[in-house]
Amino acid sequence: MEKLLDIRNLRTYFYTEDGVVPAVDGVSFYIKPGETLGVVGESGCGKSVTSISTLRLVPNPPGKIMEGSEIIFEGTDLLKLSEAEMRKIRGNKISMIFQEPMTSLNPVFRIGDQIAEVLLLHQGLNKAEAREKAIEMLKLVGIPRPEKVVDDYPHSLSGGMRQRVMIAMALACNPRLLIADEPTTALDVTVQAQILDLMNDLKKKVNAAVMLITHNLGVVAESCDRVVVMYAGKVVEEGDVYSIFEDPKHPYTVGLLKSMPSAVGGQDKLDSIPGVVPNPLNLPKGCRFAPRCNKAMDICREKQPGLTVLGEERTVRCFLYNREDGVK
Amino acid sequence: MLKYTLKRILQAIPLLIIISILTYLIINLAPGDPTAFFINPEKASRLGPDYVANIKHHLGLDQPLHIRYFKWLGNVLRGDFGESFFEQRSVMSILWEALPNTIILSLVAELIALIVAIPAGIICALKRNSIWDYIFSTISFIGMSLPTFWFGLMLILVFSLKLGWLPTAGMRDNFDAFVFTDRLRHIILPAIVLGMGGMAANMRYMRGAMLEVIRQDYIRTARSKGLSEKVVIVKHALRNALIPIVTMFGFSIPALFSGAAITETIFAWPGVGRIAIEAVFSNDYPLVMGNFMIIAVMTVVGSLVADLLYAVVDPRIKYE
């Protein structure tokens, strides 16, 4: 099957006063048309930076997408496009929703105008048509009384409603790819499921692929077809959602799954992965997970593991599965 | 909003009365005696104390302070601010004549301040820590620190005396007709001097507000929609960053009137500020009171305008 988005060896570094932070360090993965890919990892593992790199919205300075990275979308490398060409893709073919619905809408513009803005820009509609379409989108995302809300300001809506508005805005131009960066993290638990259902529902309607960035494995199980697990700027495991949950390979993935609360298991105490994500300014010499890994061997502290292909669409970056293929 | 405005105006009445009592007290406690000006020493020695008492009575100064105050207040409530001791004219007519001149000067000063401050502040924020940021920031610190009288005199020295480009003082050369270029040439220097402080402050506010706004999530959202950087900055960022500036504008109204006193004196600008200074120095009580009450009203109105403007520019603010 053809790939919609193919990220190859993406490296996004931040040049800070304290040194170079390799937030994303050689990440490769792809998304097929219409599928939902979960990108999972702890805070600071580089998943958000990967998402904003895809839209080329990394603040520069201090951030920089390094030479040799490729982000191929529908056959074109986005990193080779001019800024003007890139703008035609943002909000149109690739759109994005963010973690913070409370602050992601501009407080001084009416909701309808904010949705209409993308339609005026990308679809060449006139003002009246854009307004009609904005109302239609609000109806689609399940906002009650859309004819009234269209003239409201963001502050009069709740977080869940604002995230619905963000989704309406993101889907207004029928994008091929929707990047959702922790779309439910800031919401009440009761609202989270609604928003996820809405996203899953609408992505089918407009036939968009979704890059779902989350640290919540429950969300992944609910929505994703395939999963990419990231740790300290690298992909450590990749596979379809079933095999990741049933048969996790990387000790980090195993740890993540163990630390997930389960409604049925009746555990007394949750497992947790000891330690914290390494300081990106001072990464371990070998495998970046080695200091926290309960299966770490001598080689793990010396050399960085390469990617081992375990099967179709199934890879892992760990010496447990391939002891020879180390890179310095 | 109307109800809120009316409430604020009603609240302002006791405030203004308290201000008037304090001002009245302070002026009358200030050293100096206006009657001295009217006493002819020769007559005084010839006619004795009756003569001086007569003058005092004529000026209304023979009565106790509180009686004088209430008399003054009673007249003011009937719209009569009394007569100036020295100009022998009604305070109102003196101030009405001078007020337009001050308003013109203040508005031009504020306009210059904003026209410079807003773009400069934006550039500073967008090109943070660049050479432009340092240049504008230095200018703004200098502008805030320069004493008005010194800065005014320096401008006169350079642009009027050395270069001879602009007039040193006054509001016009042609007293027969209104000539725009004549007025413009006269207003440039005083307006720059008067606007300097506001410009410097607004530049800093603008820089700070813009720096704050461009870090916001909704700016990232705007970029992710595919908007050009120009639209992101001018529409999405500026509209938010201007909120504190618009509010500051309301508060700067009274500051412009009181700050005009020194500038108007240096440039012999016939406005209320210069009249205030002259009136204070000559203990012209009715004129000082009229003048100060105008500034007090301006301050109250200015802060009301600031609050109302706040609601206009920020949809999150609503007054019940």
CB B107 within 8 A of CB B190: no
Q: Are B65 and B28 in contact (CB under 8 A)?
A: yes
DSSP codes, A234-277: EEEEEEEHHHHHHS--SHHHHHHHHTS--TTT--SS----SS-P
Tell me how close the Cα of A149 comes to any Cα of chain B, in angstroms: 14
- The more confidently predicted of residues B7 and B65 is B7
- Chain B interface includes A78 (CB < 8 A): no
Closest CA to A58 of A109, A30, A92, A21: A21
- Do the strands A314-316 and A308-311 form a parallel or antiparallel pair, or are they unpaired? antiparallel
pLDDT given for residue A203 in this prediction: 82
B171 touches A at CB < 8 Å: no
A108–B239 CB contact, under 8 Å: yes
Which of A85, A105, A106, A153 to mutate to probe the B interface, most B CBs <10 Å? A106
Interface contact flag, B225 A98, Cβ < 8 Å: no
Q: What is the dihedral of CA B141, B142, B144, B148, to 10 degrees?
A: 180
Closest Cβ opposite residue A122 in set B217, B226, B313: B226
Give percent of chain B with pLDDT exceeding 70: 98
Residues 6+ apart with CB under 8 A from B294: B95, B99, B257, B272
| Whether B221 and A98 lie within 8 Å, measured CB to CB | yes
In angstroms, rounded to a whole number, what is the distance separating the alpha carbons of residues B245 and A42? 41
Residue A141: CB atoms within 10 Å: 22
- Put simply, whether A118 touches B (Cβ < 8 Å) is yes
The contacts of residue A226 (CB under 8 Å, 6+ apart) are A35, A36, A37, A38, A238, A239, A240, A241, A313
pLDDT digits 0-9 by tens, B221-278? 998 998 888 889 888 899 888 888 887 777 777 766 666 888 888 888 888 888 888 8
Find all residues with CB under 8 Å of A19, minimum gap 6, and list them: A281
The amino acid sitting at B112 is I
Which of B217, B315, B316 minimises the CB distance to A98?
A: B217
B137 has a chain A CB within 8 A of its CB: no
CB hemisphere CA count around A51 (13 angstroms) = 29
Host H or E run for residue A326: strand A326-327
| Contact (CB<8Å) A57/B236 | no
d(CA A261, CA A218): 9
| ipTM of the complex in this document | 0.85
Note every long-range contact of B217-220, with CB atoms under 8 Å and residues 24 or more positions apart, other chains counting. Answer: B217/A98, B217/A100, B217/A103, B217/A104, B218/A103, B218/A104, B218/A105, B218/A106, B218/A107, B220/A52, B220/A57, B220/A98, B220/A104
pLDDT in tens, B170-183: 777 777 777 777 77
**Domains in chain A: ranges and CATH:** 5-93+176-278 (3.40.50.300), 103-172 (no CATH)
- Domains of chain B: residue spans and CATH: 2-77 (no CATH), 91-313 (1.10.3720.10)
Nearest to A40 by CA among A230, A224, A222: A230
How do the pLDDT tens digits run along chain A, 328 residues long? 588 889 889 999 889 888 888 888 888 889 998 899 999 988 878 888 899 899 998 887 788 888 888 899 888 888 888 888 989 989 889 999 888 888 889 998 999 899 999 888 888 888 888 898 899 888 888 888 888 988 999 988 888 888 889 888 888 888 889 998 888 887 778 888 888 888 888 888 888 899 999 888 888 888 889 999 998 888 889 999 888 888 888 888 888 888 777 655 556 677 788 888 888 888 888 888 888 888 888 888 888 888 888 888 888 888 888 755 444 3
Tokens representing B125 are 């924020």
Q: How many CB pairs under 8 A join A and B?
A: 71
- Cα–Cα nearest to B146, from B199, B186, B91: B199
Residue A37 is predicted with a pLDDT of 92
- Tell me whether A87 touches chain B (CB under 8 Å): yes
* Interface check B127 vs A, CB under 8 A: no
**B228 vs A91: CB contact, 8 Å cut-off?**
no
